[in-house]
Structure 1
Amino acid sequence: MGRIQKRTFKEQRYNPLGTSTIQGAATTVQSKEEVPALIKKLGSSDANDRVWAAASASNLLVSDDPSTRRLLLANNVVSALIERLSDSVPEVVVQVTGALHNIAAIDQGAAEEISRRNIYAAIQNLIPRLAKSIDDIIKQKDEKKQINGDERKLVFLTTDNLISILWVLCETVPSSLRQINDMALSPFLVSFFSVADKLPSSLVQTAGQFLFTLTDDNFHAKRALLSHPSAVGILMNAAHIKQSDISLSADDLAIIRILAGGILANVKPTALSMLEKQYKHNSDGIPADVIKPWDDLSKALLQVISQFIEFDVHVAAIQAASSIKTNIGLRAESVSNGAESIANGSDNEIALGQLSSRISYVQMALELAANIFTDEGASDADAAVGENIKDKNLRDEEEPVSSDDDNNDGNSDGNDENDDDADYSDIVDEEEDVEDKDNTGFDQDDMDDVLADEDTIAKKADEAVQNSILGVFINSIIPSLQRLAEPTKMTTLATALNECSVLVNGDGDSGSSSLVASVVEDFAALNERALGCFNNFLLVIEESIKSWFLLHKNSVDHWWRFLIAIAEHIFGVDAAPEELSKLDQRLRFSVLEPAFGCMWTLARGVGGSVPVTPEHIKGFIHICGTAPNVEIRAKIVGVLGNIARRQPGHIEENQHIGLYLLEQVISKPLLAFSGSSGNSMTDDDDDDISVEPIVEAMDMLFDIYSDMAFDYDEPVFVRGDFLNKLRQLYIPMRKLAKTIDRRRNKELRDRSDLVVQNLRAFIEYKASERKI
Structure 2
Amino acid sequence: MGKSQKKKSMRRHNPMRVPDSHLPKGLASASSASTKTEAILPIIQKMESPDASDRKWACVAVSNLIQNDPSTRRLLQGKNVVGALITRLTDSEEEVMIEAMGALRNLCIDGGYDICAEMYNKNILTPLKTFIPKISSVLSQYLEAPNTAPKNTQRLMYDFADNAITTLWCLSETSNKALDAINSINLIPFLMSFLVSRDKLSIAPVVAAAQCLYVLTDDNDVASDSLKSDAGYLSCLLSIAQSSFQPSNDKGKDSDDRRRVTLRVLSSGILRNISPLPQHSAASVIDLDKDIMLPLLQPVIASVSLPETASRAQQLVDDLASEPRLERLSLQNTPRSDHKLTAEIELEQLEATLRTVQLALEILTGVCATLPEPSAGVEGDTEAENENEDEDMANDDEVMDKMNVLGSETNDGSANPTVLPSLVPSLLSLIQPTSLSFHPLAASSPHPPTTSALSAIHISAMECLNNIFLSLATFPNTSVSADAEGGRKVWNEVWASLGAVGTEFGLGQERRKEMWEIGVGVLWGVAVVWKGTLSATDEQIQVLIRLCEGSSDDRTRVKCIGALECLAQYPQSITSNQVIANFLLKLLPTASSSPVGTESLLQATSALIDIYSDETLPYDINFRQNGMLQILVASVEGVRKAVRGIDRKKPGGKDLRRRGEEVRDNLIAFIQYRRNLG
Provide the TM-score with structure 2 as the length reference.
Answer: 0.79
Residue number in structure 2 paired with 1:522: 453
Letter in 1 for 2:456: A
What are the Cα deviations for residues 395-414 of structure 1, in whole angstroms up to 9, with x where unaligned?
xxxxxxxxxxxxxxxxxxxx
2:3 is equivalent to residue 3 of structure 1: yes
Alignment equivalent of 1:84, drawn from 66, 88, 93: 88
Structure 1 SS opposite 2:48: helix
Q: Residues 118-137 of structure 1 correspond to what in structure 2 (within 5 A)?
A: 118-137=123-142
Q: How far apart, CA to CA, are the structure 2 residues paired with 1:196 and 1:531?
A: 34
Q: Residues 193-212 of structure 1 correspond to what in structure 2 (within 5 A)?
A: 193-212=195-214
2:262 is equivalent to residue 268 of structure 1: no
Residue number in structure 2 paired with 1:307: 299
Cα pair 1:603 1:642 within 8 Å, conserved? yes
Cα pair 1:702 1:762 within 8 Å, conserved? no
Q: How far apart, CA to CA, are the structure 2 residues paired with 1:706 and 1:109?
A: 52
Could you list the runs of 5+ residues in structure 1 that have no partner in the other structure?
A: 15-25, 276-285, 336-340, 387-434, 437-450, 498-503, 505-509, 576-580, 676-687
How far did residue 756 of structure 1 move?
A: 7.2
Alignment equivalent of 1:661, drawn from 584, 587, 606: 584
Cα pair 2:354 2:457 within 8 Å, conserved? yes
Residue number in structure 1 paired with 2:259: 252
Could you list the runs of 5+ residues in structure 2 that have no partner in the other structure?
A: 19-33, 329-334, 380-406
Q: How far apart, CA to CA, are the structure 2 residues paired with 1:30 and 1:59?
A: 14
How far did residue 750 of structure 1 move?
A: 2.4
Cα pair 1:561 1:611 within 8 Å, conserved? no
Cα pair 2:5 2:365 within 8 Å, conserved? no
Q: Residues 117-156 of structure 1 correspond to what in structure 2 (within 5 A)?
A: 117-141=122-146, 145=147, 147-156=149-158
Q: How far apart, CA to CA, are the structure 1 residues paired with 2:86 and 2:197?
A: 30
1:322–1:626 distance in 2 versus 1, CA, 3 Å: farther
Letter in 1 for 2:627: D
1:760–1:618 distance in 2 versus 1, CA, 3 Å: closer
1:48–1:691 distance in 2 versus 1, CA, 3 Å: farther
Letter in 2 for 1:267: I
How far did residue 30 of structure 1 move?
A: 4.2
1:133–1:471 distance in 2 versus 1, CA, 3 Å: farther
What are the Cα deviations for residues 709-758 of structure 1, in whole angstroms up to 9, with x where unaligned?
44333x32232222333444445555656666655454485278437734
What are the Cα deviations for residues 460-514 of structure 1, in whole angstroms up to 9, with x where unaligned?
x59x84xxxx555544x333222222332333445xx9xxxxxx7xxxxx6xx34
2:580 is equivalent to residue 674 of structure 1: no
Q: Residues 220-369 of structure 1 correspond to what in structure 2 (within 5 A)?
A: 220-243=222-245, 250-272=257-279, 275=280, 291-292=284-285, 294-295=286-287, 298-309=290-301, 310-330=303-323, 345-369=340-364
Residue number in structure 1 paired with 2:607: 700
Structure 1 SS opposite 2:351: helix
Letter in 1 for 2:555: E
How far did residue 70 of structure 1 move?
A: 6.1
Letter in 2 for 1:640: L
Q: Residues 703-742 of structure 1 correspond to what in structure 2 (within 5 A)?
A: 703-713=610-620, 715-730=621-636, 732-733=638-639
How far did residue 623 of structure 1 move?
A: 4.1
Letter in 1 for 2:369: T
Q: How far apart, CA to CA, are the structure 2 residues paired with 1:633 and 1:362?
A: 30
Letter in 1 for 2:316: S
Alignment equivalent of 1:531, drawn from 458, 462, 472: 462
Letter in 2 for 1:303: P
Q: How far apart, CA to CA, are the structure 2 residues paired with 1:152 and 1:352?
A: 26
Q: How far apart, CA to CA, are the structure 2 residues paired with 1:190 and 1:317?
A: 35
Letter in 1 for 2:123: N
How far did residue 373 of structure 1 move?
A: 4.0
Q: How far apart, CA to CA, are the structure 2 residues paired with 1:63 and 1:516?
A: 7
Q: Residues 627-646 of structure 1 correspond to what in structure 2 (within 5 A)?
A: 627=551, 629-646=553-570
Q: How far apart, CA to CA, are the structure 2 residues paired with 1:334 and 1:31?
A: 12
Q: How far apart, CA to CA, are the structure 1 residues paired with 2:554 and 2:581?
A: 19
Structure 1 SS opposite 2:219: coil
Residue number in structure 2 paired with 1:178: 180
Q: How far apart, CA to CA, are the structure 2 residues paired with 1:332 and 1:230?
A: 50
Cα pair 1:4 1:367 within 8 Å, conserved? no
How high is the sequence identity, in percent, across the aligned residues?
A: 27
How far did residue 318 of structure 1 move?
A: 1.0
Letter in 1 for 2:4: I
Letter in 1 for 2:95: E
How far did residue 644 of structure 1 move?
A: 0.9
What are the Cα deviations for residues 511-531 of structure 1, in whole angstroms up to 9, with x where unaligned?
xx3444553332222122112
Letter in 2 for 1:4: S
Q: Residues 545-560 of structure 1 correspond to what in structure 2 (within 5 A)?
A: 545-547=476-478, 549-560=480-491
Q: How far apart, CA to CA, are the structure 1 residues paired with 2:591 and 2:106?
A: 47
Structure 2 SS opposite 1:127: helix
The root-mean-square deviation of aligned C-alpha atoms, in Å, is 4.1
1:536–1:136 distance in 2 versus 1, CA, 3 Å: same
How far did residue 245 of structure 1 move?
A: 11
Letter in 2 for 1:481: L
Residue number in structure 1 paired with 2:573: 650
Structure 2 SS opposite 1:230: helix
What are the Cα deviations for residues 398-439 of structure 1, in whole angstroms up to 9, with x where unaligned?
xxxxxxxxxxxxxxxxxxxxxxxxxxxxxxxxxxxxx99xxx
Q: How far apart, CA to CA, are the structure 2 residues paired with 1:50 and 1:271?
A: 50
Residue number in structure 1 paired with 2:372: 378
Cα pair 1:4 1:536 within 8 Å, conserved? yes
Cα pair 1:261 1:301 within 8 Å, conserved? yes
Cα pair 1:9 1:172 within 8 Å, conserved? no
Alignment equivalent of 2:60, drawn from 34, 40, 55: 55
Q: Residues 182-193 of structure 1 correspond to what in structure 2 (within 5 A)?
A: 182-193=184-195
Larger Rg: 1
Q: Residues 297-696 of structure 1 correspond to what in structure 2 (within 5 A)?
A: 298-309=290-301, 310-330=303-323, 345-375=340-370, 377-379=371-373, 382=375, 465=416, 470-475=417-422, 477-494=423-440, 513-516=444-447, 518-547=449-478, 549-571=480-502, 582-583=506-507, 585-627=509-551, 629-647=553-571, 649-663=572-586, 666=587, 674=593, 689=596, 691-696=598-603
What are the Cα deviations for residues 214-271 of structure 1, in whole angstroms up to 9, with x where unaligned?
1111111111112235211221221222215998854333222121122122222142
Cα pair 1:487 1:566 within 8 Å, conserved? yes
What are the Cα deviations for residues 351-391 of structure 1, in whole angstroms up to 9, with x where unaligned?
3322222212111112222323433x323x759x99xxxxx
Q: How far apart, CA to CA, are the structure 2 residues paired with 1:11 and 1:488?
A: 18
Count, aligned residues: 617
Structure 2 SS opposite 1:172: coil
Cα pair 2:593 2:638 within 8 Å, conserved? yes
1:257–1:471 distance in 2 versus 1, CA, 3 Å: farther
How far did residue 658 of structure 1 move?
A: 0.4
2:29 is equivalent to residue 37 of structure 1: no
When structure 1 is superposed on structure 2, of 650-659 and 195-204 the one drifting more is 195-204
2:94 is equivalent to residue 94 of structure 1: no
Q: How far apart, CA to CA, are the structure 1 residues paired with 2:91 and 2:293?
A: 42
* Bigger helix fraction: 1
Provide the TM-score with structure 1 as the length reference.
Answer: 0.70
**Which structure is higher in RCO with an 8 Å CA cutoff and minimum separation 6?**
2
Letter in 2 for 1:189: L
1:30–1:346 distance in 2 versus 1, CA, 3 Å: same
Letter in 2 for 1:37: Q
